[in-house]
């Protein structure tokens, strides 16, 4: 049974992937995802354990912070890019940015005209050829506040922990809650991609990143 959603039905879920090797500190009270935001999540959506999150106060509002990892090398002639991330990108188009080397840093936002959720955690975005230049697999992107120079990561909240367990939205769920780890050891190759600047910040908070076995 999911411990992280509330509604009219409950379901038995598959055994989760073990992402934590040690949990030493849990933020008291956890938090709930904003009800309007949660209502917009399609049934079947999963916010994976290990997702960076910001919790404003004990028992307060929980805000997941999403990043997207390029799954294969991007060439200058490509008009599509495949990104892996927990949250669907905007189907009708939006903007993405290579995550800057510093939190709140600026970069160049690039417009995409469409995004397709492939149903396996990846999203195919349509771009103009060379709009993102060339990039190697593993490059990490985020939604941008605009296209062009001087763009920033659209979600300005800075994470103060990682999600302890998956949050799975099932049919009838109206509330999604989560517990937040701010002191522990996590298998970084089993969680969504975390950009270097955010990883350094979370290490300062108390998270230790290590490879799985």
Helix (H, G, I), strand (E, B) or coil at 140: strand
Asked whether the beta carbons of 182 and 53 are under 8 A apart, the reply is no
**Distance between CA 65 and CA 51 in Å, rounded?**
7
Asked whether the beta carbons of 112 and 126 are under 8 A apart, the reply is yes
Which letter does DSSP use for residue 190 in this model? G
Does 12 have pLDDT greater than 60? no
Tens-digit pLDDT profile for residues 29-65 = 999 999 999 998 888 889 999 999 999 999 999 999 9
Tens-digit pLDDT profile for residues 129-178 = 999 999 999 999 999 999 999 999 999 999 999 999 999 999 999 999 99
Count Cβ atoms below 10 Å from residue 107 Cβ, excluding itself: 17
The distance from CA 166 to its chain's CA centroid, rounded to whole angstroms, is: 12
User: What residues have CB less than 8 Å from 145, skipping those under 6 apart?
Assistant: 95, 109, 151, 152, 153, 154
Phi, psi of 22 (to 5 degrees): -160, 135
Quote the radius of gyration of the chain (alpha carbons, Å).
17
Say how many Å lie between the first and final Cα of the chain, rounded: 27
Does 15 have pLDDT greater than 60? no
The predicted structure's pLDDT at residue 44: 87
How large a percentage of the chain has pLDDT more than 70? 92
Show the DSSP H helices in the chain as ranges.
35-39, 196-205
Beta strands 167-168 and 31-33 are: unpaired
The predicted structure's pLDDT at residue 17: 77
Does 118 have pLDDT greater than 50? yes
Q: What angle do CA 125, 120, 90 make, to 5 degrees?
A: 35
């Amino acid at each position: 049974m999911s411990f992280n959603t509330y509604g009219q039905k409950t379901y038995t879920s598959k055994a989760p992937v073990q992402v934590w090797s040690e949990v030493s500190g849990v933020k008291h009270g956890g938090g709930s995802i904003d009800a309007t935001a949660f209502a917009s999540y399609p049934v079947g959506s999963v916010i994976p354990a290990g997702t960076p999150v910001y919790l404003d106060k004990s028992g307060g509002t929980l805000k997941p912070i999403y990043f997207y990892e390029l799954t294969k090398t991007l060439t200058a002639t490509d008009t599509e890019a495949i990104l892996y991330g927990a949250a669907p990108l905007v189907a009708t188009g939006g903007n993405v940015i290579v995550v800057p080397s510093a939190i709140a840093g600026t970069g160049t936002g690039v417009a995409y005209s469409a995004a397709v959720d492939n149903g396996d955690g990846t999203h195919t975005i349509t771009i103009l050829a060379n709009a993102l230049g060339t990039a190697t697999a593993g490059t990490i992107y985020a939604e941008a506040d605009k296209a062009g120079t001087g763009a920033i990561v659209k979600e300005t909240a800075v994470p103060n922990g990682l999600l302890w367990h998956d949050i799975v939205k099932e049919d009838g769920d109206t509330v999604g809650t989560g517990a937040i780890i701010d002191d522990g050891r996590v298998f970084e190759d089993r969680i969504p991609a975390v950009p270097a600047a955010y990883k350094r910040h979370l290490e300062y908070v108390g998270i230790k990143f290590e490879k799985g076995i």
